[in-house]
Chain A
């Protein structure tokens, strides 16, 4: 049981048309670019089909699909292959862009859609908790970001001042 099986299950959900597209973000997404960092769950951002006449996508088809395949619900998570997986709607313009520009990565023959490094950093900066800032710092220290591309993303989504604050707090005294 492992993350690769989580990815396979999400791919089959997409192939069956339950979700339109998805991308992995958070700590698992960051692991595609950095050293592995312990995490307890998997964040999957999704774009779902909307019912005719409705503007809000219901998560129910996702849960039904997974329940039918033996997955269990645990609070706001669905447990797939032992991993609590959180399905998150791409509710902001930044997340929509991150989903649209996500890249495909090969995991031992299984394709996974993952946010770009710059989008993971931008989402972390926007979320703004201490552990999110630590993640941004990890990306910077590892030289895993195209800083020009990151600046463009941040400017498009009104996060320029968040970056300046982050720079003052963590990068200026180095």
Chain B
């Protein structure tokens, strides 16, 4: 497999375009899920930082 940066970037753009065209209800459900994930990461990093101190 060859890593072609231009193709990787184009593929990322393509993925973002596809996400943008999803039905809005589906995109809002993704926001719900993203928020849960973000909060979990935040909790884990806070707890990790506390343990280090």
Contact = CB atoms under 8 A, between A and B. Distances in A.
Interface of A: 1-4, 27-28, 31-40, 83, 105-108, 141-142, 144
B35 A36 contact: no
Contact of B20 (A3, A106, A144): A144
Interface residues of B, number: 18
The 7 A-B residue pairs with the shortest CB-CB distance, nearest first, are A35-B19, A108-B25, A38-B34, A2-B32, A36-B30, A3-B28, A35-B20
A119 B31 CA distance: 21
A36 B16 contact: no
B35 A39 contact: yes
A4 B25 contact: yes
Contacts of A37: 34
Contact of A3 (B16, B31, B37): B31
Contacts, number: 56
B39 interface: yes
Interface of B: 13, 16-17, 19-20, 24-25, 27-32, 34-35, 37-39
A2 B25 CA distance: 10
B33 to A, nearest CB: 9
B13 to A, nearest CB: 8
B25 A36 contact: no
B28 A2 contact: yes
Output the residue of A4, A38, A39 with the most chain B CB within 10 A. Answer: A38
A107 B35 contact: no
Given A32-B27, A107-B24, 15 more contacts: A3-B32, A28-B31, A31-B24, A31-B27, A34-B16, A35-B20, A35-B27, A36-B27, A39-B31, A39-B35, A40-B35, A83-B35, A107-B28, A108-B25, A144-B20
